[in-house]
Amino acid sequence: MNRTFVMVKPDGVGRNLIGVIMTRFERKGLKLTNAKMMNIDRELAEKHYVEHKGKPFFEELIDFIMSGPVFAMVWEGQDAVKNARSLIGRTNPSEAAPGTIRADYALDVSSNIVHGSDSDESAEREITNFFGK
């Protein structure tokens, strides 16, 4: 058993996709253990995406994630990180496999609907950042 941090990004919230995204995770067999609607300030945005600091898309990424409310979640289950990322699909929706969230609901790499942690270490760090210890 492990857990992962998943977040519906401002584009997903704005397009009323929270429900369909949560349904996919529930149908997979993962369990929701925490969730909240919130706004991300610059400090949290830069902390969350610190690995991308200095990259050409960093400022756009920070502005985008702060552009509206997000829906932050913790999902638990077998291989939660890996299974969540397979439901989400490749970063660029045009390369994502059909049936994944990004393939089915997004067109553009910079607004790709949903975030999922990329390792157990990232998951624990992100859960602490968003939900506290």
Residues that bind ligand RTP (CB under 6 A): 52, 57, 61, 91, 109-110, 112, 115-116, 118
* Residue 26 beta carbon to ligand RTP: minimum distance, rounded to whole angstroms: 20
- Location of structure tokens 């429900």: 19
- Location of structure tokens 């790709």: 112
- Residue 6 binds which entry of Mg ion, ligand RTP, none, CB below 5-8 Å type-dependent: none
Q: Output 23 or 91, the one with its CB closest to ligand RTP.
A: 91
Q: Output 33 or 91, the one with its CB closest to ligand RTP.
A: 91
- CA 107 to mean position of chain CA atoms: 16
> How many whole angstroms separate alpha carbon 131 and alpha carbon 96?
29
- Among left, alpha and beta (phi > 0; psi -120 to 50; other), residue 54 is left
Determine whether 115 is an active site residue: yes
